[in-house]
Amino acid sequence: MRETNAEKEFAYEFPTAAGIRYRVAIGILGVLVLAGLVAWINQLIFGLGETGMKNSVNWGIYMTNFVFFIGISHAGTLISAVLRLLNAEWRRPITRVAEAITVFALLLGGFQLVLDSGRPLRLVNVFVLGRLQSPLLWDLASVSVYFASACFYLLLPLIPDLGALRNQPGLTQLQKKTYAALSSGWNNSSRQQQRLKRVIGIMAILIIPIMVSVHSVVSWIFGLTVRYMWHSSIFGPYFVVGAIFSGVAAVVLSVAVMRRTMRLEAHLTALHFNKLGALLLVMACLWFYFTLAEYLTTGYGGMTAELAVLKMKLSGEFALAFWAMILCMASAFVLLLLRKKSVIGMTTAASALIVVGMWLERFTIIVPTLTKPLEEGYNFGLYRPTLTEWVISSGSLAGFALLLIVFARFFPIISLWEIQEAKDPTRESNIGCTAPLISGAGELVETNV
């Protein structure tokens, strides 16, 4: 058994026993999800009046969450697909978590529409009676197609790893059965490897226009109306840029957490955070540019009704949210510029700020336009989210985190065969039914193929 230092550093302990931190995390997140469910049932019984929404501001933080989650889901596509096409080698340890984030974000994002619906049981009507003219239908169509694509794009590169690990000691019975089922038929022959690479290549190209269409269509839910400061031609590209921006930040956050809690410091190094930080910097520049273009056009042009909405954002009822957003983004920008001082810490901090800032961005796009500057009153005045909305929202976020953590527990969160492939491109991936890369004890075991 030869174990060089290089091979030892490669060792990834999987499966690991469920430590105390895992159990605590699951416990807390589970409670939040449960609370969200209870609040939702309450809302189903007593109606959407449990929220702070009203006849003027008829969309609130549920729609904000919807756009936010769909935005986050663009992470996987960019990192997994685009970086793959660009042959950026550093993507290898993070493709799987990015792909997983995409799937779970789409799930929770789509669910926000169910939460926001006045008659959720009637949602079937969209399939039976759907009208082609409605941007909401385009949205449902493109998000569903993206979801199917994301699931496939997560599953496909998972197959070789599952095939290699299906006899790994330490797996539960359920895991063994699942692995066997998902990787059934995989025998790691060169033909299958070629085909796998071929299909992954096709998916990488195919999923990019799907991704662009998804958030463009989401933006057009707002952009195609005639409401002041919604009816803006910049919305399509603006939302896509914002989505990629928030998505990459979400990946950085997840990777940072994973790195510590799963002891993956050897795989997820300063190099990765540096590259991701550079990517975030580029997206930040784009985001600032689009934001400037949007507000400059509105403000300088000076149409009265539009100015009223702009005033609410800059100095009125929504000034707090707006300037908090700018502060988050600007601080993140500075942190990213200076990230060399402490790459991992600063990039992670910047990402946290970006995620918060992007949520605020969605909020300040949706709510001010619907608000009219009115006095307080029964059905008038400022929208204030109620406890129900906060509990349901935190339940959604907790649900997303829960799915991700459980996935990382029961599936290899790093794409092992891709890393192996990089280490030795001249020979075929040394994985398959009989040659595991890792052992339960975390030592690299090399056997004959």
To 5 degrees, how large is the angle CA 438–CA 248–CA 399? Answer: 75
CB of 306 to other proteins, least distance (A): 10
Q: How far is CA 118 from the centre of its chain?
A: 26
User: Should residue 243 be labelled a site residue for other proteins when binding is judged by CB under 8 A?
Assistant: no
Report how far residue 304's alpha carbon sits from residue 223's, in angstroms, rounded to the nearest whole number.
19
Query: How many other CB atoms are there within 10 angstroms of residue 172's CB atom?
Result: 10
The one-character DSSP state at 16 is P
The residue among 1 and 128 lying less far from other proteins, judged by its C-beta, is 128
Residues 141-160 close enough to bind other proteins by CB under 8 A: 141, 144-145, 148-149, 152, 155-156, 159
DSSP string, 99-119: HHHHHHHHHHHHHHHHHH-SS
User: Should residue 373 be labelled a site residue for other proteins when binding is judged by CB under 8 A?
Assistant: yes
User: Should residue 390 be labelled a site residue for other proteins when binding is judged by CB under 8 A?
Assistant: no
Among 205, 292, 305, 387, binds other proteins (CB under 8 A): 305
> What's the number of CA atoms in the CB half-sphere (13 Å) around residue 280?
37
CB of 69 to other proteins, least distance (A): 17
The residue among 113 and 344 lying less far from other proteins, judged by its C-beta, is 113
Among 90, 178, 208, 227, binds other proteins (CB under 8 A): 227
The residue among 306 and 361 lying less far from other proteins, judged by its C-beta, is 306
From first CA to last CA, the distance across the chain in angstroms is 14
User: Should residue 447 be labelled a site residue for other proteins when binding is judged by CB under 8 A?
Assistant: no
Residue among 60, 71, 49 at smallest CA distance from 369: 60
418: amino acid identity, one letter: E
45: amino acid identity, one letter: I
Tokens of residue 190, six digits? 């060169």
3-state class (DSSP) for residue 196: helix
User: Should residue 199 be labelled a site residue for other proteins when binding is judged by CB under 8 A?
Assistant: yes
Report how far residue 136's alpha carbon sits from residue 59's, in angstroms, rounded to the nearest whole number.
14
Handedness of CA 74, 232, 61, 310 (dihedral sign): positive
Which uninterrupted H or E stretch holds 47? none
User: Should residue 42 be labelled a site residue for other proteins when binding is judged by CB under 8 A?
Assistant: no
User: Should residue 425 be labelled a site residue for other proteins when binding is judged by CB under 8 A?
Assistant: no
Report how far residue 275's alpha carbon sits from residue 266's, in angstroms, rounded to the nearest whole number.
16
Among 22, 380, 407, 410, binds other proteins (CB under 8 A): 380
Tokens of residue 48, six digits? 């959407």
Binding residues with other proteins: total (CB under 8 A): 73
User: Should residue 1 be labelled a site residue for other proteins when binding is judged by CB under 8 A?
Assistant: no
User: Should residue 434 be labelled a site residue for other proteins when binding is judged by CB under 8 A?
Assistant: no
Report how far residue 192's alpha carbon sits from residue 274's, in angstroms, rounded to the nearest whole number.
35
Stretch touching other proteins by CB under 8 A, among 28-36, 48-56, 243-251, 342-350: 48-56
The residue among 4 and 55 lying less far from other proteins, judged by its C-beta, is 55
User: Should residue 345 be labelled a site residue for other proteins when binding is judged by CB under 8 A?
Assistant: no
Q: What string marks each residue from 60 to 99 as x (binds other proteins by CB under 8 A) or -?
A: ----------------------------------------
Residues 156-185 close enough to bind other proteins by CB under 8 A: 156, 159, 183-185
User: Should residue 136 be labelled a site residue for other proteins when binding is judged by CB under 8 A?
Assistant: yes
The residue among 20 and 376 lying less far from other proteins, judged by its C-beta, is 376
CB of 141 to other proteins, least distance (A): 5
Among 21, 195, 260, 427, binds other proteins (CB under 8 A): 195
Among 293, 307, 321, 445, binds other proteins (CB under 8 A): 307
Stretch touching other proteins by CB under 8 A, among 68-76, 250-258, 299-307, 435-443: 299-307
Residue among 373, 295, 395, 298 at smallest CA distance from 65: 395
The residue among 224 and 234 lying less far from other proteins, judged by its C-beta, is 224
To 5 degrees, how large is the angle CA 289–CA 295–CA 297? Answer: 95
Handedness of CA 225, 230, 232, 233 (dihedral sign): negative
